[in-house]
Structure 1
Amino acid sequence: MVRTERVARRVFSRLNLALLLTGALAGCGGPMEPAPSAPEPEGTQAQALTYPSGSSQTVVSRRVVYRNGSGAYQAAAGFEHFRAAGALDIALHNIRIAEVDAPAVREALVLMSAGQKISSSGHSSGVTGQASNWDASCDSVSCPNVNLDGRSLAMKLRALGLFPSGKTYLSVVNDANFDHLFDSDTKQRIVNGFSNWLQAQVRPETRAIYLAGSSRGGCLMMRVAQALRANTALDGIDLYVSSFDGVCRNSQGELGTFDSKINNPVRPWGTFYGAWATNLTAQFPRRDRLHIFHVVGGQEVAPATGIRAFSGYAGSTPPSTGTNLDWGWYKQTWVKWQHKEIGNPYTDPSASDQPQAVAETIDAHLTWLDARLP
């Protein structure tokens, strides 16, 4: 009965989508992104459907470790796993998570992370939906009134009902504080905190986990996926992972990356876009019920830093120039977009480029996920 109801919901969502695309439901379901005005040049990847926006949502983003009235650090209720993993309180204090939906029955768990905050202000994210000033209201305990944009991956997914409505746990990580420059031990403790906390959300009825993240958030979600897939107690759960130009530190061998750059085959003329190679088959030796999709551009995040996304490769040695990959359990597509445009295709590309950027990032992941869900 549950499967039948779920299939019916998805059929209804697709019907509504088709009607929206033809204009029959104009004004319902939120604003749509405009469709491309012209077909893509031959040889480029096919664009995804343009999915309707969801509703915006105002949430409270809580610190996993907060300062109490005496100024002392204290683990937040429900987030004790982070402090137990042993990272310093000063690092954990900047991790802020909003539990958007937390039902008692949890057939699916969804966790999405924005990228690393690299200045004193926040940043917008097309994955979580947070605006650039999302942290303006933060105090020592929480960040009230954080608005999540309805066009984001999180809110589109929520509206589409690809996972059971009312039975899906959804959280967004507004700041994972998964700093690229942290030492390996600190990073591992943060990964352990996230993976242990997420595993605590699993219920006997849980059948699917979906992780998504951009930039450093993409690397974090890949590493959390490693921890989840290594736990044999979760073998009956399907694990889906979306990475948007996920950035791992090659000088630390993070996610198996090393100093071999794979050039982006669709990079803009005059650029040096490319990604650090990693043997993902070795990184995920247990691949049953594992599904990963990585969209990669490979622009250097900051000039002359060597900070760029990862790329999987097939064969014994990395190629000099990459190709799109589809190994069944792992899919990777190259795009021409800048790093920040992949992270938020609604604000950073030019207005004329936004429809294609959305199609090749946010909507491409929704299309991929929908095709793989039972």
Structure 2
Amino acid sequence: MVHIAGFPRRITLWAGLALALGGTLTGCAPPEPEALLPGEPEASLDSQSQALSHPNGSSRTVVSRRVVYKDASGNYQAAPGFEQFRAAGASDSTLHAIRIAQVEAPSVREAIVFMTAGQKISSSGHSSGVTGQSSNWDAACDGVSCPNVLLDGRSLAMKLQALGWFPPGKTHLSVVNDNNFDHLFDSDTKQRIVNGFAQWLQAQVRPETRSIYLAGSSRGGCLVMRMAQALRANTALDGIDIYVSSFDGVCRNSQGELGTFDTKVNNPVRPWGTFYGAWATDLSAQFPRRARLHLYQVVGGQEVAPATGIRAFSAYSGATPPSTGTNLDWGWYKQTWVKWQHKEIGNPYTDPSTSDQPLVVSETIDAQLTWLDGLL
């Protein structure tokens, strides 16, 4: 591939969540028999092992700002540059938890890159292999901002920046350390949060913008998928390529979020004795406008917390979902199954065993980068 310089490259739920994110979930029965639908679009189950190894970037320290902050009198105020969140209508107390670091914000923006961690579910922070933040990133946060947030050079955000595929000095890069896109929120609150993020991101677009890249893990994966729906529905952005990387993206099936419903597609490479699988969604129906749209979900499907039904989504084709999934490659949408735990997919540098880390990184962070490189 030739790249031309200067162009964009193409709860008890709470208790259960805390328990699951600290340990391994296993079942007590063998996996169900596999079944495929005749003629179902699929890709080789070995495809994720073909990812290239991409070099690490440099770690850097950033300031993460609250989109709604508290002034000296304790009153909520919309943070300058983030007014779109309050305008979208979510409560100030909900928005106060959302913190975003604008890593690079040049005036000329040929590309927009947006990455988000998953849901923060306890008093501690949330580490992320996507954004590069550590588990104690929020230790110094106050009512206005979080200074000195360190982004690990091994993260997707820092690796992508080092690769320079989107024009250096002409790319707006933001990382969301806490999106507060809570799985348990009602549908209306979630929609207001999605609207706030989508409207804020659209405000970063300039006449010269040609590419938007979104990436997120867990609840962040669902958020970027829903943001992509809003962006692709906006005909004013039809000339812009939209790329989305989801790492075991989790949408709430009981609310029909992203079209998910109560049919589980079993993970074809799940470890023996587990029940890894993902909630089915007819993703084609969720994205009726697919020109210049490119989506990739790496999915494991481990239940995030025991007996909660919280798990990732899986696309399917045909009249009904298959009992057991396959890797998919529809041109505009790609999906690969992995055997890793939910937390390992989102945190491949900290949560897998030392011996497993290289393979987990290859099948998550580097797999997404290899996919993106093939499109740019």
Question: Same fold per TM (> 0.5)?
Answer: yes
Counterpart code for 2:339: K
Q: Secondary structure at the match of 1:239?
A: strand
The equivalent residue for 1:70 is 73
Alignment deviations for residues 77-127 of structure 1 (CA, whole Å, 9 cap, x no partner): 000000000000000000000000000000000000000011110121000
Contact map agreement 1:295 1:334 (CA 8 A) in 2:
yes
Contact map agreement 1:265 1:334 (CA 8 A) in 2:
yes
Q: Which of these residues, 187, 191, 200, is aligned with residue 190 of structure 2?
A: 187
1:354 aligns with 2:320: no
Counterpart code for 2:153: G
Q: Secondary structure at the match of 1:134?
A: coil
User: Mapping of 1:33-52 within 5 angstroms?
Assistant: 44-45=46-47, 46-52=49-55
Contact map agreement 1:63 1:97 (CA 8 A) in 2:
yes
Q: How many angstroms does 1:47 deviate by?
A: 3.4
Distance (Å, rounded) in 2 between the aligned partners of 1:314 and 1:123: 34
Q: Which of these residues, 192, 197, 201, is aligned with residue 200 of structure 2?
A: 197
Q: How many angstroms does 1:318 deviate by?
A: 0.2
Q: Which runs of 4+ in 1 moved over 3 A?
A: 42-45
1:344 aligns with 2:316: no
Q: Secondary structure at the match of 1:50?
A: coil
Q: Which of these residues, 318, 329, 352, is aligned with residue 332 of structure 2?
A: 329
The equivalent residue for 2:5 is 5
Q: How many angstroms does 1:51 deviate by?
A: 1.0
User: Mapping of 1:92-171 within 5 angstroms?
Assistant: 92-171=95-174
1:240 aligns with 2:252: no
Q: Secondary structure at the match of 2:50?
A: coil
The equivalent residue for 2:34 is none
Counterpart code for 1:146: V
Q: Which has the higher contact order (CA 8 A, sep 6+)?
A: 2
User: Mapping of 1:280-291 within 5 angstroms?
Assistant: 280-291=283-294
Distance (Å, rounded) in 2 between the aligned partners of 1:243 and 1:146: 23
Q: Which of these residues, 226, 244, 256, is aligned with residue 253 of structure 1?
A: 256
The equivalent residue for 1:177 is 180
Q: TM-score, normalised by structure 1?
A: 0.89
Distance (Å, rounded) in 2 between the aligned partners of 1:101 and 1:283: 31
Q: How many angstroms does 1:44 deviate by?
A: 3.2
Q: How many angstroms does 1:241 deviate by?
A: 0.2
Distance (Å, rounded) in 2 between the aligned partners of 1:50 and 1:344: 17
The equivalent residue for 1:279 is 282
Q: Secondary structure at the match of 2:106?
A: coil
Distance (Å, rounded) in 2 between the aligned partners of 1:200 and 1:43: 40
1:86 aligns with 2:110: no
**Identity score, percent:** 81
Q: TM-score, normalised by structure 2?
A: 0.89
Contact map agreement 1:211 1:242 (CA 8 A) in 2:
yes
Q: Secondary structure at the match of 2:62?
A: strand
Distance (Å, rounded) in 2 between the aligned partners of 1:241 and 1:79: 22
Q: How many angstroms does 1:191 deviate by?
A: 0.3
Q: How many angstroms does 1:186 deviate by?
A: 0.2
Contact map agreement 1:47 1:356 (CA 8 A) in 2:
no
1:225 aligns with 2:228: yes
Distance (Å, rounded) in 1 between the aligned partners of 2:347 and 2:319: 34
Q: How many angstroms does 1:229 deviate by?
A: 0.3
Counterpart code for 2:134: A
Alignment deviations for residues 45-93 of structure 1 (CA, whole Å, 9 cap, x no partner): 3231111110001000000000001100000000000000000000000
Alignment deviations for residues 309-351 of structure 1 (CA, whole Å, 9 cap, x no partner): 0000011100000000000000000000000000010010000
Contact map agreement 1:49 1:367 (CA 8 A) in 2:
yes
How many residue pairs match? The answer is 339
Distance (Å, rounded) in 1 between the aligned partners of 2:264 and 2:184: 20
Contact map agreement 1:110 1:171 (CA 8 A) in 2:
yes
Q: Which runs of 5+ in 1 are unaligned?
A: 11-41
The equivalent residue for 1:371 is 374
Q: Secondary structure at the match of 1:300?
A: coil
Q: Which runs of 5+ in 2 are unaligned?
A: 10-43
Distance (Å, rounded) in 1 between the aligned partners of 2:158 and 2:45: 31
Distance (Å, rounded) in 2 between the aligned partners of 1:123 and 1:86: 26
For the aligned residues, what is the CA RMSD?
Answer: 1.2
